[in-house]
Amino acid sequence: MNLLQKKLELSNGYLGYGGQDQLGFHLSVLTNMGLLTAARHTNLSLWLEALKGVVREKLPTVNAQPEVAEAMLNRFNQAIADLEAVIEYLEQ
């Protein structure tokens, strides 16, 4: 059965193709609609939480001197705090 023959299903509140790996589907939707459009139509706090998660996963894998890694983490934490303040203001 090819992709065109499958039907979209709602699962746990999200649209997708039932029971299959959804990554390709979700990436294609984001690619087709564009990240900017997606960001405009969702809660900015969700984007920030996703960004924090991805960066915090990647930071420990950086091959840098401990002082450099700590400085990067400090800059990241400050940037996140700044973005949270902006998002809080915009959502008021």
The total of other beta-carbon atoms located within 10 Å of residue 88's CB is 11
The one-letter amino acid code at 78 reads: Q
The confidence score (pLDDT) of residue 79 equals 94
CB proximity list for 39: less than 8 A, separation 6 or greater = 47
What is the residue range of 66's domain? 44-91
For residues 12 and 4, what is the distance between their CA atoms, to the nearest angstrom? 22
Please state the domain count of the chain. Answer: 2
pTM for the structure as a whole: 0.60
Least confident of 4-13, 26-35, 48-57, 59-68: 4-13
Please check whether residues 24 and 52 belong to one and the same domain: no
Same-domain status, 55 and 82: yes
- pLDDT tens string 30-60: 888 888 888 888 888 888 999 999 988 888 8
Sign of the CA dihedral running 64, 67, 55, 39? negative
Confidence tier at 6 by pLDDT (50, 70, 90): low
Asked if residue 83 and residue 53 are part of one domain, the reply reads: yes
- Within this chain, do residues 27 and 59 fall inside the same structural domain, yes or no? no
12, pLDDT greater than 60: yes
Q: Are residues 36 and 48 in the same domain?
A: no
| Tokens matching residue 85 | 């303040």
20: three-class secondary structure by DSSP: coil
